[in-house]
Structure 1
Amino acid sequence: MPPDRGRASRACTACRKIKTRCYESDVTGRPCLRCERLSRLEQTVSSLVKRLGEDGAHRRTSFISTASPNPIPENDASSGIHSTAPVLLIRDVAYEVGVRQQHTTGVSPRSTGDSSDIISKGLITTQQASEMIELFHKHYGRWVAFSPTALLHTILEEVRQSPLLLCACSLIAIRHSAPQLAPILAPQLFQEARTLLASALLDTPQSIEFFQATIILSMWSTTIGQTPLSIDSWLVSGFALQHSLASDIFAPIISPDHSTSVSRSELDRWCIWNHLCLAHLHYCVGTRRRSILDRKQINECRKILDSDHATNFETRMVAEVNLYWIIYESCLKVPVDLPSTQAALHEWRQEWKFLFDQPRSQFLQMGFQFAQLLAFDQALKSRSAAVRESLVSEMIRLSASIIQLALDTADARTRHLSDHVYHMITFAAVTLCRLLHMYESQVASSHNLLELDSLVLTLITWLHSIGLPCHVAHTLGDVVSAFHIKLRPNTYSPSDSQTLDELRLYFPDLLGMESLDGGNYDFLPDWEPQNQ
C-alpha cells in the first residue's frame, strides 16, 4: 500500500472529510488534536462573532463587549479594582465627558460574503488609497513588516489582496489626511472594518494579511473609533493568537524545534507575532483580563534577537513584551507584593539598560514608570496612613514624570505613536487629578499644587496641538480637560467661567461638583483617605 494511502486510512474522521493531512495519523475514529482545537475555535468564534458590528444595548459596550469573561482572578469585583484598570478607567471617563463612538450615517453593514475592497465599493478612489497607503507605509509599516524598500504600487497591490488590511491601513492614515475628508470618511471605514473583521474571524486558516490587520485594529483601537475600546483589542488580539495556532505561518515560531537561523521573511513573521503578543498584553493590563499567552510563549519572543537582522525597534518591542508580562504577573495582584514587584521591575531595567542609551528609549522609560505607578496604585488600597502618605507622594512623582517625559521628548513622529503611549500619558494625568482631589490638604504640605495643576493644563494644550482635530490626542485631551475641570474647579480663573458654564450645559452630571460633595467617588479607586 502506498505510504500516502496508509496515512489517509489512519487519519481521523474530520481530516478525511475535509481531505487534509492529519496531524495524528495514528488516531482512528475521533478528531485529532488539531481538529479538536479548530472545532473549539469555530464554536467560540461563531458565538461571539454575532456581537461584532452590534451597537450594544448597554451604553458602555463597544461593538465587541468590554464585559468579556475571564478577568484576572486576583481582582475581585468587590474590591473596586475595575475602577483603576487603565484603559477601562479612560473609557469610563471618556463616556462621562461626552466622548461617543462614531457612527456611520447613510452606510449600512455590507454582506459578509462580499469580498470587494473599499476601492471597488467606491468609498475611496485609487488615488486616495495610494496616498493613504504611502503615509501608512512611511510611519507605521514596520509594525506590520512592510518592506521599507518596496515601491508604493507594489505595496498597494499586496495590501489590496486583503480588503480588511486595506481598510485597516486606511483607517489609520485617514486621521492624518485632509481635515475635511476625515470626519466624513473615517466613520464609514470604521463600519466597513467591523463588518470585514466579523467575517474574517470565521475563516481558517488565516492569511498573513489577517494578522497584520489585527495588529493595526488592536494597537490603534482608540484612534479608529475615536473612543477607548471602540474595538475590544483584548478580544480581537486573543482571537488572532488562537488563529495562529491553526496556521502554518507561525509554525517556526510556535514550534520548539525551530531553526536558529532566521531569514528576512521569517524575521518579518516573527515581528508580526511579537507585535500581536504586545498588543494583547497591552490590553490584558489595560482591562485587567487574563492573557492567553504563557511564560514559554513570552520567552519565544526573545528568539528574534538571535538574528543579525534585528533592529533597535524590534529589540525595544521585545523589551516591552517582557515589561508588560511583569506588569501582568506582578503589578495587578491583590494585594500586590511591592518588594518582589519592585525587584522584578528593576531586574528588567537592568537587563535592558543598553536600550536606555539608544534612540526612542523614552517609551521604555515611560513604560517602567507606568508599571511602578500601577503597583503603587494597588498598594495604596490597604496601607496605613503613614505608608499611604509615602505612596501618594511617589505616585504624584511618577504621574508628573510620565507627563513631563512626554512633553520633553515630543517631535515630528509623536503624532504617529501607538495608542498605548497616549493611554499611559492619559492615565498618568487622570491619576494625578484624582490624587490632588482626594489628598489635597496632605499633598499641599509637600508639593506645589499650582505647579501640578499647571502641568496638567500644559498637557491638555499639548494634546490639543497634535495633528488634526480627529487625532486620538485631541480625544484624550478632551477627556483630561473635562476631568480636571470636574475635580479641580478652583484652579480655573474667572475668565474661564464662560467655558465652564458651556461645558456644564453639555455634561451637567460630570462637571457639576455637587456629585462629589456627597462623597461619590465613582472614578476613584478604593483608596482610603489619610485622615479617617
Structure 2
Amino acid sequence: MAAKLFEAVFPHSESGLNQVVNNTNSPNAPTEEHNPDTVIAHNYPKPVEILQDLQSELYAQSGRPASEETKRLDVISLGLLSFETAVQLLKTSISRYSKWIPLADVVKFVSNASRDFPRSSPLLMDVLCLLATRYHPEVPSQTVQDIYKHVKRLVADAVIETPPVASSVVQALTLLCLFSPAVQTDKPLDSWHLSASTANHAVVAFGSSNVKQPDAVEERTIEQLRVWSSLCLTHLQYSIGSGRPLSISVRLMDGCRRLLEQSTIMPFDTPLIAELQFYICLHTALQNPAATSESAFTPWDFAWSRFLASSGPPRTLELSHWFGHLLLHRRSASSQQGLSHQAMQEKNIPAWRESANIVSQFVRHSSDQAPDLPDFAFFIASYAALVLCESAIDHHLVENLRAYLFKVACGESHIAFKHGFIIQRALERSKHADSNGEDGTNSGGAEMLPQLQITETPLPSQAMGMGEFDALAGFDIFGEYFTVGSLL
C-alpha cells in the first residue's frame, strides 16, 4: 500500500494512471498546448483521480463476488428474448441503423464470427433489440415494455459511470439520441441532455477530438469518427431546436471533417459531414441578428450543395437545408414591426415556401423507410406544417403530412403517431380561425407554393384523449426563436 501511495502521489513517466486518453509522449501525438478543447492528459499528479482510486481500493467491500445482475445485463441472459429472436432483431438493426451508427461488432456476432458481443456490449445489444422491435409486431408488447425499462436502468447507470466507458456504450447512447424508443408513454427523451452527457463520455473514450490513439487500428478509428460525427450532429440539432447552449465546442465538431480523409469512407459519410457543417453555419447565423440566408449559407453552398440531390435516402440533408432557411426567414419576418397585414403576408412567403418544400419532400419517403428517419426529421416536418397552418393556405399539404404520420407510425407511442395528433389539432384550430375570419389569407402566396396530391389515409380507430395531447405539446423545442402559440 505504501508503494502504491508513493507511486500515486509521485507518478513516474511510465505510469498508466496518467494516460487517460492519449499517450502524449507518442511522436505522432498532435501538439495540444494551444488547443483549449484538448483533454488534459499530461504526466502530472491528478489529485481527484488519485484519491478516488485510493478510496475505492480502501473502502471496497472485500470478498463480494460480482452480482449475477451485473453479469446478466443483456436481454438474452435476462430471459427477455430468445437467442433466435435477438439475432433477428439485431439483423433488422443492422439493415436499418448502419447508416447512422457503425455496427461492425454486431455484424460479426450475427454471422457467428464472434460470440462475446452480448457480454462485452450489453447496452448496445439491448438498445438495438429495443429499437428493432418496432419492425417486429410479433414481439409481445409486454416484452417490449420490459426491455424498455431495462434499457432505461442501464442508460441511467451508463450516464453516471466513471469514464472512460466502452465505445459500445457511446454507440448505444448516440442511437438513443437519434431515435426515441417507440414505447415511451411519458415525456419524450431529452436528446439535447443525453447527447451532451454522451459527448463527455465520447471525448474521454475516443480521445480528444477523436485523435487517433497509439496503436489503434484504422477500422476502429473510422468507426469512432462516424459515431462522434453523428453525436455532434444530433446535439447541434437539438441545441438549435431547443434554444439551449452547445455542450460540444465547434472546434471539436470541425474535427469530424477528418472522417473524409480516411482511406475507406462510405457513401453516407460525406452527406453526414455536409449536414453537420450546415448546422454549424446555422448555429453561427442564429447568434447574429443581422445574418440572412444568403450571408449564412453561401460558403456552405459553395462547398457542399452538390450533395443535396445525391445524398440518397433518407435525404435528411435536404430537409435540414430547407429547415435552416425556414428558421432564418421566420426570424426575419418576426423582427419586422409596424408593417401592414399585406406586407407581413408577403414577408412570410419565403418561410411558407420552405415549409412546403419540407412537407412535400418528407411525405415522399417510403412508408417502410420512414421509421428509419431520426426523430429530428419528424420535428422538422411537423414544425413546417405548423408554419403552413399559420399561412392558412395549401392546407392539403398539412393534411397529407397528418395522414402520412399516422400511416407510418409504429404504434401509438411512436413519434410519428404523436406528431400526427399535434398536426391534426393545429389544422383544426387553423381552419376554425379561417371560418371566423381570423388571420386567414386565401391568397398572397398560395400560387408560389408547390402543389402535391397524396391519397389521404384515414385516422386510426384508436383515439387518444385530446386533453392529453394539446397542439402545443412537444413544440416548445422551438420556443427560443418563435412562439408556437403565434402559429395557432
Moved more, 296-305 or 476-485: 476-485
Residues 160 and 475 of structure 1: is their aligned pair in 2 closer, same or farther, counting only changes over 3 Å?
farther
2:136 pairs with one of 165, 177, 187: 177
Deviations 1:148-207 (A, max 9, x none): 9646144774245222212211121011111x5353333222211111111122322100
Q: Determine the C-alpha separation between the residues in 1 that align with 2:350 and 2:430.
A: 20
Seen in structure 2, the aligned counterparts of structure 1 residues 194 and 149 have a Cα distance that, compared at 3 Å, is closer
Q: Distance in 2 between matches of 1:356 and 1:316?
A: 8
Could you tell me which residue of structure 2 aligns to residue 127 of structure 1?
84
Q: Return the alpha-carbon distance in structure 2 between the equivalents of residues 315 and 156 of structure 1.
A: 33
**CA contact under 8 A between 1:221 and 1:232: conserved in structure 2?**
no
Q: Answer yes or no: is 1:349 the counterpart of 2:301.
A: yes
Equivalent in the alignment of 1:214: 173
- What secondary structure does 1:408 align onto? coil
8 Å CA contact retained: 2:230, 2:272 = yes
Q: Compute the displacement of 1:24 (Å).
A: 4.0
Partner AA of 1:363 in structure 2: T
Match for residue 155 of structure 2 among 171, 188, 197: 197
Q: 1:133 to 1:388 in 2, by over 3 A?
A: same
Partner SS, residue 420 of structure 1: helix
Kindly state the Cα deviation for residue 241 of structure 1 after the two structures are TM-superposed. Answer: 1.2
Report the CA distance between 1:399 and its aligned residue: 1.0
| SS of equivalent to 1:464 | helix
Residues 1:25 and 2:20 are matched in the alignment? no
Identity across aligned pairs (percent)? 18
Match of 1:328 in 2: 283
**Structure 1 residue 507, shift from structure 2 partner:** 2.9
Superposed CA offset, 1:21-64 (max 9, x none): 5844344xx638x879x99xxxxxxxxxxxxxxxxxxxxxxxxx
Structure 2 residue aligned with 1:10: 10
Are 1:136 and 2:93 an aligned pair? yes
> Structure 2: how far apart are the matches of 1:290 and 1:154?
43
Distance in structure 2 (CA, Å) of the matches to 1:486 and 1:250: 51
String of CA shifts for 1:451-504, please: whole Å, max 9, x gaps: x11111111112222254354322322221222223324789xxxxxx9xx979
Distance in 1, Cα, partners of 2:7 & 2:359 = 62
Distance across 2 between alignment mates of 1:503 and 1:6:
68
1:289–1:195 distance in 2 versus 1, CA, 3 Å: same
Give the whole-Å Cα distance in 1 for the aligned partners of 2:170 and 2:467.
Answer: 39
Residues 100 and 230, structure 2, Cα contact 8 Å, conserved in 1: yes
1:374, distance to aligned residue in structure 2 (A): 1.3
Identify if the C-alpha distance between structure 1 residues 250 and 338 changes in structure 2 by more than 3 Å, giving closer, same or farther. same
Paired with 2:277 and 2:122, the residues of 1 have a C-alpha distance of 33
Give the structure-2-normalised TM-score.
0.72
Decide which of 465, 470, 480 is 2:423's aligned counterpart: 480
Which AA in structure 2 matches 1:11?
Answer: P
* Whole-angstrom CA distance in 1 between matches of 2:378 and 2:150: 25
Which structure would you say has the larger RCO, counting Cα contacts within 8 Å and 6 or more residues apart? Answer: 1
Q: Deviation at 1:303?
A: 0.7
Tell me the equivalent position of 1:420.
376
Distance 1:258 1:141 in 2: 24
Shifted more, 378-387 versus 277-286: the winner is: 378-387
The aligned amino acid for 1:119 is I
Q: Report the Cα distance in structure 1 between the residues aligned to 2:319 and 2:375, rounded to whole angstroms.
A: 14
2:349 matched to which residue of 1? Answer: 393
Distance 2:8 2:308 in 1: 55
The structural deviation recorded for 1:10 is 2.9
SS of the aligned residue for 2:176 comes to helix
Query: Taking structure 1 as reference, are residues 300 and 359 closer, same or farther at Cα in structure 2, changes over 3 Å only?
Result: closer
User: Which digits, 9 at most, give the CA deviation of each residue in 1:88-107, with x for residues without a partner?
Assistant: xxxxxxxxxxxxxxxxxxxx
Contact 1:282 1:324 in 2 (8 A): yes
Structure 2 equivalent of residue 246 of structure 1: 204
Alpha-carbon offset, residue 509 of structure 1:
9.6
- TM-score for the superposition, normalised by structure 1: 0.67
**What's the offset of the Cα at 1:8?**
5.9
Identify if the C-alpha distance between structure 1 residues 404 and 506 changes in structure 2 by more than 3 Å, giving closer, same or farther. Answer: closer
Shift of residue 377, structure 1, vs aligned partner: 2.2
> Residue 459 of structure 1 corresponds to which residue in structure 2?
401
| C-alpha distance in 2 between matches for 1:509 and 1:138 | 33
Cα distance in 2 for residues equivalent to 1:19 and 1:266: 23
User: For the residues of structure 2 that align with 1:144 and 1:398, how far apart are their CA atoms?
Assistant: 29
- Give the Cα–Cα distance (whole angstroms) in 2 for the partners of residues 453 and 270 of structure 1: 42
Paired residues of 1:226 and 1:472 also in contact (CA < 8 A)? no
The corresponding residue for 1:372 is: 325
Residues of 1 paired with 2:486 and 2:425: CA distance? 22
Query: Are the aligned partners of 2:127 and 2:172 in contact in 1 as well (CA < 8 Å)?
Result: yes
Change in Cα spacing, 1:26 to 1:399, as seen in structure 2 (3 Å) is closer
CA contact (8 A) 2:131 2:181 kept: no
Mean Cα displacement is larger for which, 112-121 or 478-487? 112-121
The amino acid that maps onto 1:478 is F
Distance in 1 of aligned mates of 2:114 and 2:283: 36
- What is the Cα deviation at residue 289 of structure 1? 1.0
Residue in 1 that maps onto 2:60: none
Which amino acid is the alignment partner of residue 298 of structure 2?
A: H
Relative to structure 1, is the Cα distance of residues 491 and 504 closer, same or farther in structure 2, using a 3 angstrom cutoff? Answer: farther
Paired position in structure 1 for 2:124? 165
The offset of 1:393, in angstroms, is: 1.5
Separation of aligned partners in 1, 2:300 and 2:266: 20
- The runs of 5 or more residues in structure 1 that have no matched partner are 40-109, 441-448, 493-498, 512-522
Q: Which moved more, 1:147-156 or 1:472-481?
A: 147-156
Q: How much has 1:359 moved relative to structure 2?
A: 4.1
Change (3 A) 1:481 1:11: same
**What per-residue deviation string (whole Å, max 9, x for no partner) do you get for residues 296-324 of structure 1?**
11210001111231122111111111112
CA distance in 2, matches of 1:381, 1:473: 29
State the SS of the aligned residue for 2:388.
helix
Q: Secondary structure at the match of 1:225?
A: coil
Distance 2:196 2:68 in 1: 25
The question of whether the paired residues in 1 share the 8 Å contact of 2:311 and 2:317 is answered with no
The one-letter amino acid paired with 1:310 is I
**Is the 1:460–1:477 Cα contact (8 Å) retained in structure 2?**
yes
What letter is aligned with 2:47?
A: P
Contact 1:112 1:199 in 2 (8 A): no
Amino acid paired to 2:184: G
**Residue in structure 1 matching 2:386, options 430, 440, 444:** 430
Cα displacement (A) at 1:409: 4.3
| Residues in 2 aligned to 1:158 and 1:486: alpha-carbon distance in whole angstroms | 51
Residue aligned with 1:478, SS: helix
Distance 1:479 1:527 in 2: 15
Distance 1:284 1:222, change over 3 A: farther
Structure 2 vs 1, CA of residues 428 and 304 (structure 1 numbering), >3 Å: closer, same or farther?
Answer: same
